[in-house]
Structure 1
């Protein structure tokens, strides 16, 4: 089976449809009022440190939906995020494979440190 330019490109960079979805998401974010756009871009920077993972494009599209709806309803930024932005983002990412992976890795890390410190927690670090 011959590999064409598109297949070769996708092997190097990933599915082109995901890239198209990403650029549509970015266009949606550019349309938000400045304060909403600033909040979303800050959240993006935070999320980037966790790596892309499965479901990342869907997560960002849902983020755009949330902030577009907030804009339409006139919902203040603080009401969207609550008083603790970290609590918001942690709850938000738990709905996606990326967030589930982070949770598993945190639990694995904590268990490893407990074992290294000689503490038997009775927890298995191979959480699913």
Structure 2
């Protein structure tokens, strides 16, 4: 019984460390970007942290993909506006749609739909 609990605690601790290391690698990648690309990704990251996935793995995958996009764009000499377009919110929302897992808004939409389905099911 106790060994299961201890194993669970070890798994949580090492998983947390691995996630932190992955995040630090992501941040180090951003430091290599040109200043304007770094400023843009910082702004997008802030927005996406509010509206993006709540699950750590999904969130980190999203951030890694965002870094990939900006690294490739910087290497190709692509301007920030050419990446995000004229409406950065539209870009961010489109990007976020690729990572629906763990988003609080997705959970709330599902909760609303289920509640209405239950309420409608009890109607004569």
Say how many residue pairs are matched.
Answer: 109
- The structure richer in helix per residue is 2
C-alpha distance in structure 2 between counterparts of 1:46 and 1:100, whole Å: 13
| 1:68–1:58 Cα change, 3 Å | same
Alignment match of 2:94 (pick from 91, 98, 101): 91
The equivalent residue for 1:32 is 33
Are the counterparts in 1 of residues 37 and 80 from structure 2 also a CA contact under 8 Å?
Answer: yes
* 5+ long unaligned stretches in structure 2: 115-124
- Tell whether 2:47 aligns with 1:66: no
Normalised by the size of structure 2, how large is the TM-score? 0.72
Task: Specify which structure has the bigger relative contact order, considering alpha-carbon pairs within 8 angstroms and separated by 6 or more residues.
Answer: 2
* 5+ long unaligned stretches in structure 1: 113-124
Normalised by the size of structure 1, how large is the TM-score? 0.70
Q: Report which stretch shifted further, 22-31 or 46-55.
A: 46-55
The equivalent residue for 1:117 is none
The equivalent residue for 2:45 is 44
Runs of at least 4 residues off by over 6 Å: none
The equivalent residue for 1:21 is 22
| 1:7–1:24 Cα change, 3 Å | same
